[in-house]
């Protein structure tokens, strides 16, 4: 029996949010892994348009130091 994943819906399209603001770093943190990498759209479920805006906003926020480029990796 094969399991099918449910269809991912873009949360920005669902909320009718037209633009993604780079100053809203709390919302941008959800699209970044613990290592500081940007999560791909096939995982997050965002549409192509909003993924491009999200990546651009994350890069702008990193540039003005609202978000870190990378996080500390803990050694065990």
Kindly report, residue by residue over 23-74, the tens digit of the pLDDT. Answer: 999 999 999 998 899 999 999 999 999 999 999 999 999 999 999 888 776 7
Global pTM reads 0.82
17 falls within a domain: yes
Say if residues 35 and 73 touch (Cβ distance below 8 Å).
yes
The CATH number assigned to the domain holding 31 equals: 4.10.640.10
46 falls within a domain: yes
Q: 75 falls in which pLDDT band (50, 70, 90)?
A: low
30 falls within a domain: yes
- Residue 1: what pLDDT? 64
- Residue 8: what pLDDT? 82
Cα-based angle 43, 3, 54 (whole degrees, multiple of 5): 10
71 falls within a domain: no
Provide the domain limits for residue 52.
Answer: 11-63
Q: Who's near 72: CB < 8 A, 6+ residues apart?
A: none
């Amino acid at each position: 029996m094969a399991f099918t994943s449910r269809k991912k819906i873009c949360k920005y399209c669902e909320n009718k949010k037209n633009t993604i603001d780079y100053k809203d770093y709390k919302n941008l943190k959800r699209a970044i892994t613990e290592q500081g990498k940007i999560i791909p759209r096939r995982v997050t479920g965002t549409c192509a348009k909003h993924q491009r805006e999200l990546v651009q906003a994350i890069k702008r926020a990193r540039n003005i130091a609202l978000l870190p480029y990378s996080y500390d990796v803990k050694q065990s």
